[in-house]
Amino acid sequence: MIIKLDFESEIPIYLQIRNEVVKGIGKGQLAIGEQLPTVRSLANDIGINAMTVNKAYALLKKEGFITIERRHGAKISPRYQSNIDYSERLVSELDLLTSEAAIRGCDKETFLRLCEQVYQSIHVRRLEDEKI
């Protein structure tokens, strides 16, 4: 698993790890049941404190993206249905992204085209992975 982190970013490292894992799942790069690196090994690979990785894994577990078992470590959980809380969060995050795009001069057509391209690239990769 390749995790890209930006140590200069204002986004905390644990959230960047969480986001990278979520993107990996969404793009089909991480499969259901796939084992994630141990907290200690990922922390050593990245060069950060193990507590930071532990915080990311705890958040991923809370959100239902991974399961954690003492003897088996962290694994990607089976997919689950969207719920009302997630829908509200999605609207909130889309509101923020749309506002930023508008402020930076991105018109509606360009914004929607970019959204479609990103969604399509994820959907196509997932379909290709499921055929294998």
What mean pLDDT do residues 53-68 have? Answer: 95
Give 26-44 pLDDT, tens digit per residue: 888 999 999 999 999 999 9
Say what the pLDDT of residue 46 is.
Answer: 94
- Are residue 22 and residue 65 in the same domain, yes or no? yes
Q: Give the largest Cα separation in the chain, rounded.
A: 51
> In the chain, what percentage of residues exceed pLDDT 70?
88
Domain assignment of residue 57, given as a range: 13-76
Residue pair 55/62 in contact by the 8 Å Cβ criterion? no
Q: Which residue has the tokens 């922390």?
A: 43
Those residues whose C-beta lies under 8 Å from the C-beta of residue 79, and which sit 6 or more positions away, are 32
Say what the pLDDT of residue 129 is.
Answer: 55
Do the domain assignments include residue 57?
Answer: yes
- Are residue 68 and residue 88 in the same domain, yes or no? no
Residue 50: count of CB within 10 angstroms of its CB? 14
Q: How far apart are CA 12 and CA 52, in angstroms?
A: 9
**CATH code of 35's domain:** 1.10.10.10
- Tell me how many domains the chain contains: 2
